[in-house]
Structure 1
């Protein structure tokens, strides 16, 4: 597949704004894949994902920050590969607002007593889009 390091076109950006789920793939310590559907926002040329600090995906990212993301529609693939950064405090206000607008959800609020939230900021290394496979 072709490397597309530039921002994707308007049709893909519209899907990123409207679609509710993305499959996030992280790498377990034994090298196997861990894949899970997550809510996301795409803003400032970054994917943003909220998670509990104790989640498998966060444990995986601590040791291996490389991730892949794939929108759910396999007929018109949108896949991105990048590196995840964990943000534990000081979530960007514009990202919290974007989650509130998209999902009516506070991404920074703990999901259960005693849990702590983190934000994953994924910087894209390459896009793998429909029609770019070689």
Structure 2
């Protein structure tokens, strides 16, 4: 399967952010890939969001270790009025999920934008 197909259809992505002490925080997330950018919905009080606000460097990996897709980038947090095209893409991919709807106790919804800085693995294990 081509990378572009997997980025459209794979359900989960592992997001690695950095805690204040420099240790890794790894969590599975739902995502869409538009252009050369990953978009992830979250609550503004989630650990991953707090980590990105301190240090925007992130790594991302799809779940299939036999055909790994791994990338790095610098995340940006978008709050307030969220991009409708991204919310629509998330809803289409995840059976109507409203990524803009607040979930207690995580606070108002935000979108993490992660433009790809570089691809580390593109489907072939090394």
- Give the TM-score range, shorter chain: over 0.9
TM-score by length of 2: 0.92
1:132 is displaced (CA, Å) by: 7.6
Q: 1:41 and 1:57 mapped to 2: Cα distance?
A: 17
The residue number in structure 2 matching 1:6 is none
CA RMSD of aligned residues (A): 1.6
Gapped regions of structure 1 (runs ≥ 5): 1-9
Q: Distance in 1 between matches of 2:107 and 2:23?
A: 26
- Tell whether the 8 Å contact from 2:67 to 2:125 is kept in structure 1 after alignment: no
Aligned to 2:12: 21
Q: Distance in 2 between matches of 1:131 and 1:113?
A: 40
- List per-residue Cα deviations over 1:28-57 (Å, max 9, x = no partner): 010100000000000122100011100100
Q: 1:33 — aligned with what?
A: 24
Deviation at 1:62, TM superposition (A): 0.7
Secondary structure of the structure 2 residue equivalent to 1:131: coil
Structure 2 distance, partners of 1:83, 1:38, is 16
- Give the Cα separation in 2 of the matches to 1:45 and 1:115: 28
Distance 1:44 1:91, change over 3 A: farther
- Per the alignment, residue 38 of structure 2 pairs with 47
Tell me which residue corresponds to 1:84: 75
Q: State the TM-score, normalizing by the size of structure 1.
A: 0.87
Single out whichever of 112-121 and 29-38 deviates more from structure 2: 112-121
Q: In the TM superposition, what is the alpha-carbon distance from 1:111 to its structure 2 partner? A: 1.1
Work out the CA distance in 2 between the residues paired with 1:132 and 1:77. 6
> Structure 1: which 4+ aligned runs deviate by more than 4 Å?
none
